[in-house]
Amino acid sequence: MSITILGIESSCDDTSAAVIRDEFLLSNVMSNQDVHMKYGGVVPELASRAHQQNILPVVDSALKIAGVKIRDIDAIAFTRGPGLLGSLLVGTSFTKGLSIATGIPVIDVNHLQGHILSHFIKVPEKKVNTQPSFPFLSLLVSGGHTQIVRVESYSSFTVIGETIDDAVGEAFDKCAKIMGLGYPGGPVVDKLAKEGNKVAFKFSKPRVDGLNYSFSGVKTSLLYFLRERIAEDPAFIDKNKTDLCASFQSTLIDILMDKLVKASVMTGINEITIAGGVSANSGLRERIISEGIERGWRSHIPELRFTTDNAAMIAIAGYYKYISGYRSPLDIVPVSRSMDYLL
C-alpha cells in the first residue's frame, strides 16, 4: 500500500510544501521572501508574517501539482526546529490545525535531519536514483550550522565534528557584507570566485583539535587584511573583487575538507555526502568530487533544488519516521535551538 506524506517547511524565510509518495517526489513548492534583501539579512518578524500569508496557497499548490486530495495524505510532516521561533510557530500551528480538521496524524522533523536525508528523495523523471549506503558521513553546511555527521540509519545520527563558533555560511555572508556585495552573500561570492585566482591572497586557517571547526578567525583575517589594503588604496576591493572571493572561498573549502578527510580516515567510512545551503557552492561540490576520486570515496552531491530549505526533505524524513511507527502528539511545540532538538 502506498504511503503519501505532505511536508511543510517554515524554519527561516522560505515557505515550502511538498508531497512524497513512497520516496518519490510528486511536488515541491516554495515561496521566497525578497523583503529581507534590503536589510542585509533575515528579519524574524517579517519572516513570520510572510509565512502566514504564504503557507495556505503554497500547501494548496503542492497538493494540486501532486494531483492528490487532502484525504489521500497519510501524514503531515513539519519542521519542528531548529530555526526562527516565529517562523516555526506558523508551520507548527498550521500543521496542527490541519490535523485537527482532517484527523491526519502529524510527524515532527528535525530540519538538519531533513537536509541529510534529502539524498533519499527519488525523482520520477530520473532513470536511476542513486542513494547513499549506510553508514555514511554527511558534511552539513549552512548559514547556521557546520557539522560532520555519522549516519547509521534513517533514524541514527551522531555529530562527530562541529563548529565551535560561527557557521561556514555565516563566513560567506560576512565576506560579502565586508566587500559590499549584498545579501545573500554565498551565491555572489561563489559566482565571482569562478572568475578569480584562488591563490592570489592567503588568509589564516584555524588550528582546532579533533574534528571541530572554527570560522571566526578567518573572518577576522579577511577584515584586517582589507582594512590595511584599503588604507593604501581605497579602490582595492573593486580592483581585486574576483581574486578576493576566489581566495577566501578556497580557504573556507580547505578548512571544511581537511576535517572531512580526517573524519573519513578515522571512521573508515568512504561513503560521503554533503547537505545544507552551502552544499550549493560550486567550488565545494567540485572539491568533494575531486577529493572523492583521489581517495576512493563514493561521493553524493545533492540536486541544487534540494540544497536550500525545502519541504521535500521534510517529507522524506517524515516518511521514514512514519513507516517506523512514529507519530507526534498534538501538544508538541517548536524548538528554535539545535541544542534543544538534537539529531
pLDDT tens column, 108-118: 999 999 999 99
pLDDT for residue 160 is more than 70: yes
Summarised one tens digit per residue, pLDDT across range 45-95 is 788 898 999 999 999 999 999 999 999 999 999 999 999 999 999 999 999
Q: In sequence order, which residues have a C-beta less than 8 Å from that of residue 20 and are 6 or more positions away?
A: 4, 5, 7, 26, 121, 312, 315, 316, 319
Residue 37's pLDDT is 61
- Using alpha carbons, select from 323, 313, 291, 301 the residue that is nearest to residue 110: 313
pLDDT for residue 120 is more than 90: yes
Instruction: Write down the pTM of the prediction.
Output: 0.95
Helices (H) then strands (E): counts for the chain: 9, 10
Share of the chain above pLDDT 90, in %: 87
d(CA 295, CA 27): 36
- Residue range 4-123+306-340 forms a domain whose CATH class is alpha beta
Residue 183's pLDDT is 79
Q: What is the largest CA-CA distance in the chain?
A: 70
CATH classification of 136-302 is 3.90.1170.50, yes or no? no
Average pLDDT score, the chain = 94
Tell me the mean pLDDT in the region 230-248. 97
Residue 143's pLDDT is 86
The residue that leads in pLDDT, 144 or 299, is 299
Summarised one tens digit per residue, pLDDT across range 2-45 is 999 999 999 988 899 999 999 999 999 998 766 556 666 777 77
| Domain spans in the chain, listed from the N-terminal domain onward | 4-123+306-340, 136-302
- CB neighbours (10 Å) of residue 138? 30
Summarised one tens digit per residue, pLDDT across range 178-214 is 999 987 889 999 999 999 999 999 999 999 999 999 9
Starting at the edge strand found earlier in the chain, the sheet holding 136-141 runs 156-162, 146-153, 136-141, 271-275, 298-300
